[in-house]
Amino acid sequence: MGRRAVVVGGGIGGLATALGLRRAGWAVTVLERAGGLPETGTGLGIWPSALRALDALGVGEQARRRGRPQLGGEFRRPDGSRIATMDLQRLARRHGETVHLLDRPTLLGLLAEALPADVLRFAAPVDRLADLGTDHDLVVGADGLRSVVRAELYGERYPLRYAGVVAWRGVAPLEVGVGGETWGRGVKVGVTPQGPGRTNWYAVKAAPAGWRPADGHLAELRRLFGDWHDPVPRLLAAMDPADVLCHDVHDLTPLPGYVRGRVALLGDAAHAMTPDLGQGACQALIDAVTLAGCLDDAGADVAAGLRAYDRLRRPPTQRMAAMARRAGWLGQVRRGTRLRDAALRLAMVAGPPG
């Protein structure tokens, strides 16, 4: 009988894991709490290392066709003056290609399409590991920021940490040519082209945990950003209040291990990070490919494969999470913005993560 795995969570990391394990000869079931794939969602920047992970899963060319190359990216001040430019040509020279922009529903759809129909089970919540039974050789916790699997392994010893900001996000029915971020004092807003007539946007404000604006989200956004440079006011004017999502931003206290017994954690369940580097989905894809490869290399010794996965993925993802948290702190600066801007320029000279 072949090896069997249960993946808890049908997001990007969970579907990528299922695809990778199946290519390595495993029988896989994915249990997803939601009733179906999302039909709407914000855009993602898929960096070259994550595109290579999609290549390893056999869907890289589809991702490139369904997405679009990112043409550039600038960091600006509210008056439109430039702080720094992201050198995507340098990234392309170093890695052979640039970042590709792809919205979350499209990425989830192409991963799901590559799996047999009976692998992914919707409306299948998992509240305890005991509910999974024992007819499997591996459990993968890919169930996100508030992972049930992680909670069973570690309890409350490694909690989520509030990052000090509240974030808004959504998609506006307006097209911009090039994306970027604009940084004010303790606030910032970013835009990313998503497709014809659509722009992914997000905004961040330093605030106490649980803070929400008294006059509504869109009114607060217009108060904060309404007099900033173009295209920010046009985006605000085009937004529907019903389409504005708001949440506190958290990351995860670093775990001492991503593996316990024959249970492995990946993606946000293992290393939830703030979105400041745009690496959450990318790192989940790399986790999935690495896990499948380590298990394939280990053959029948599942424990050895899991140890290799933990050794290969825990240090770099925890470094990436720490970098994201530091980048988030820069965005919260209210005083000393000249020093902040200089630090941002130095970061761009060093180059973005590939």
At 8-51, the pLDDT tens digits run: 999 999 999 999 999 999 999 999 999 999 988 888 999 999 99
Quick one: pLDDT at residue 352?
54
Quick one: pLDDT at residue 92?
74
The SS3 call for residue 309 is helix
Residue 344 confidence class, pLDDT cut points 50, 70, 90: confident
Greatest CA separation for the chain: 65
Structure-block tokens of residue 251: 């990351």
Q: List the CATH code of the domain at 4-70+102-160+252-327.
A: 3.50.50.60
Res 351 pLDDT > 60:
no
The whole-model pTM stands at 0.94
In angstroms, what is the C-alpha Rg of the chain?
A: 20
Task: Of 32-36, 87-91, 96-100, 171-175, give the range with the top mean pLDDT.
Answer: 32-36
d(CA 285, CA 13): 6
Question: From residue 249, how far is each of 75, 163, 261, 309 by CA, in Å?
Answer: 21, 6, 31, 28
User: What residues does each domain of the chain span?
Assistant: 4-70+102-160+252-327
d(CA 303, CA 299): 10
Residue 265's nearest CA partner among 295, 287, 232 is: 287
Question: From residue 12, how far is each of 228, 268, 335 by CA, in Å?
Answer: 34, 10, 38
DSSP-derived secondary structure letter, 224? H
Question: From residue 55, how far is each of 48, 60, 61 by CA, in Å?
Answer: 10, 4, 7
